[in-house]
Amino acid sequence: MASSKPDIAFIGLGAMGFGMATNLVKQGYKVTGFDVWGPTLERFKAEGGLAATTPAEAVKNKDYCVCMVATAQQAQAVLLDGENAAVPALPQGAAVLLCSTVPCSYVQELEKQLSAVGRGDIQLVDAPVSGGAYRAADGTLSIMAGASDAAIEKSRFLLQEMSDPTKLYIAAGGIGAGSNMKMVHQVLAANQILATSEALGFAAHLGLDLKKAADTVISSQGKSWMFEHRSPRALHPEFQPIASATTIILKDTSIITAEARRAGFPTPMTSTAEQVYFTGVGRGYGPDDDSSLIRLYWEGKGKVGPVAGTAQTDEAKLALVVGLLKGIHLCSAGECIAFAARLGLDLDQVFELCINAAGGSAMLEAVGPEMMSLVKTAGGAAAGSAAGDSLDKVVSELQEAVDEAQRLKAPVFLGSQALNLTRLALAHRPKTAAAATTGVVVKVWG
């Protein structure tokens, strides 16, 4: 392949797409880019890319087209519906890698549309990515790809160019499976991004030094990849630099809840996060970094009348913050794994993806294996291999945090929801069951 690298069309040169496309240029590919935003195309040319003025022009005579636009609506426009759309201009048998995060239902519909317009020859690959702009430019993304075997084989080299060698996940199930894997990963992202703001807002109500609180969390069982990456920006006076706008995680969150509703599946954690994201966007925080939602949590401090908590020492207060996060992460792990099981995904693959990507948390690592075992076992008999803390301990720490937040009149949307979910889970345990292990929470989803 090295001596005759195929030409690539690349549609959508945003924060992620620009990095991905320039990485391909650096790997020696001739890449023709298209974007609606002219200055981006100029920048791309400066990096050695070629520029097209329409999607159709970009894909002409290209056997490979990567599409990295922001939404399903945009994908539909550039591929099929818009003026000078790509699909009619693609050569026979060309591969289209749709790397945007879209609903499974959309990419499956797209596959049907291709057949309906007589382009069933196109080798569509459902290949959403994760990892952020830096890893995009570095060619070390996580990629979750679903497609026919033929399409995967045709495109494997290109997926490999864009991904870390250990982070290319070929999801069984064809078109839609990649998007579903990305979606269940985003259950963790949606909850853990907001949990960062919630925990630090709670720390503010507790009167803690927030930098110290963040450091404590990061070296505790309450840590998550998102907390580590978001907390510095949440504590920046202007929530800078903007790494990911609130509107972006809201978009992914809404995909999760909409697909879940379509499947009749409950997503109490992600739905709670979504409502808070709507509130943030309604306040005008949509373009701001998602870590800036800490504003929704700490704004009441000092405005809710005289309040008094019971935790006196910094140590006790920090333990409450960690307990809040552990409880939230427990339930976001449960929602992720239960949804993955409902969608028929390979749970071991999902787990491996999640712990090595932005959805990772100490709690997921600890309870994930037990949860997977529980959802595989229809009857609900625990595998009995609970790692880490007992459920009693996690619930009691979470309850202490929610109790204290109530005394301080501090909102803890996710923590309160997580506590209720653990209670609902316990209410549905068979009376004859052994003492509950931590992962049992996953059974609340059915």
Q: How far apart are CA 239 and CA 291, in angstroms?
A: 7
The distance of closest approach from Cβ of residue 410 to a second copy in the complex, given in angstroms and rounded to an integer, is 7
88 forms part of the interface with a second copy (CB under 8 A) = no
The distance of closest approach from Cβ of residue 390 to a second copy in the complex, given in angstroms and rounded to an integer, is 15
Rule CB under 8 A: choose which of 100, 272, 332, 438 binds a second copy. Answer: 272
417 forms part of the interface with a second copy (CB under 8 A) = yes
The reply to whether omega before 241 is within 30° of 0 (cis) is: yes
Q: Residue 39 or 282: which CB sits closer to a second copy? A: 282
166 CB burial (10 A radius; 0-12, 13-18, 19+)? exposed
Partners of 143 in beta bridges: 129, 168
The distance of closest approach from Cβ of residue 331 to a second copy in the complex, given in angstroms and rounded to an integer, is 12
Rule CB under 8 A: choose which of 413, 438, 439, 440 binds a second copy. Answer: 413
Rule CB under 8 A: choose which of 284, 306, 379, 384 binds a second copy. Answer: 284
113 forms part of the interface with a second copy (CB under 8 A) = no
Give the ranges where 147-301 is alpha helix by DSSP (H). 149-162, 177-206, 210-218, 225-234, 246-262, 268-282, 294-298
Q: Residue 304 or 387: which CB sits closer to a second copy? A: 304
Partners of 197 in beta bridges: none
444 forms part of the interface with a second copy (CB under 8 A) = yes
The distance of closest approach from Cβ of residue 303 to a second copy in the complex, given in angstroms and rounded to an integer, is 6
Q: To the nearest 10°, the Cα dihedral for 305, 194, 292, 127?
A: -170
Rule CB under 8 A: choose which of 283, 314, 346, 365 binds a second copy. Answer: 283
Q: How far apart are CA 368 and CA 185, in angstroms?
A: 13
The distance of closest approach from Cβ of residue 226 to a second copy in the complex, given in angstroms and rounded to an integer, is 21
Say whether 182 is catalytic. Answer: yes
Closest CA to 171 of 147, 193, 146, 191: 146
The distance of closest approach from Cβ of residue 76 to a second copy in the complex, given in angstroms and rounded to an integer, is 15
Catalytic residue, from 167, 182, 223, 317: name it. Answer: 182
Please count the helices (runs of H) and the strands (runs of E) in the chain.
18, 9
Cβ-count burial 99-138 (b if 16+ within 10 Å, e if not): bbbbbbbbbbbbbeebeeeebeebbbbbbbbbbbbebbbb
Rg of the chain, C-alpha, whole Å: 23
5 forms part of the interface with a second copy (CB under 8 A) = no
Q: How far apart are CA 109 and CA 103, in angstroms?
A: 10
Residue 213 CB-half CA count within 13 A: 32
Q: How far apart are CA 219 and CA 216, in angstroms?
A: 5
Phi, psi angle pair for 25, to nearest 5°: -60, -45
The answer to whether the CB of 392 falls within 8 A of the CB of 330 is no
428 forms part of the interface with a second copy (CB under 8 A) = yes
Q: Residue 44 or 339: which CB sits closer to a second copy? A: 339
Mark the segment that binds a second copy (CB under 8 A) among 34-42, 79-87, 213-221, 424-432: 424-432
Residue 194 makes CB contacts below 8 A (sequence gap 6+) with 273, 276, 277, 290, 293, 413, 414
- 3-state DSSP call for residue 427? helix
Rule CB under 8 A: choose which of 9, 147, 204, 421 binds a second copy. Answer: 421
Rule CB under 8 A: choose which of 105, 140, 220, 247 binds a second copy. Answer: 247
The distance of closest approach from Cβ of residue 443 to a second copy in the complex, given in angstroms and rounded to an integer, is 9
Rule CB under 8 A: choose which of 30, 229, 403, 433 binds a second copy. Answer: 403
Q: Residue 362 or 402: which CB sits closer to a second copy? A: 402
355 forms part of the interface with a second copy (CB under 8 A) = no
The distance of closest approach from Cβ of residue 260 to a second copy in the complex, given in angstroms and rounded to an integer, is 8
105 forms part of the interface with a second copy (CB under 8 A) = no
Q: How far apart are CA 119 and CA 350, in angstroms?
A: 32
Give, as ranges, the residues between 294 and 333 that touch a second copy (CB under 8 A): 296, 299-301, 303-305
Q: How far apart are CA 50 and CA 45, in angstroms?
A: 6
Mark the segment that binds a second copy (CB under 8 A) among 48-56, 84-92, 133-141, 412-420: 412-420
275 forms part of the interface with a second copy (CB under 8 A) = yes
Catalytic residue ranges:
182
Positions touching a second copy (CB under 8 A) are: 247, 250, 254, 257-258, 261, 264-268, 271-272, 274-275, 278-279, 281-284, 286, 296, 299-301, 303-305, 399, 402-403, 406, 409-413, 416-417, 419-421, 423-424, 426-428, 444-446
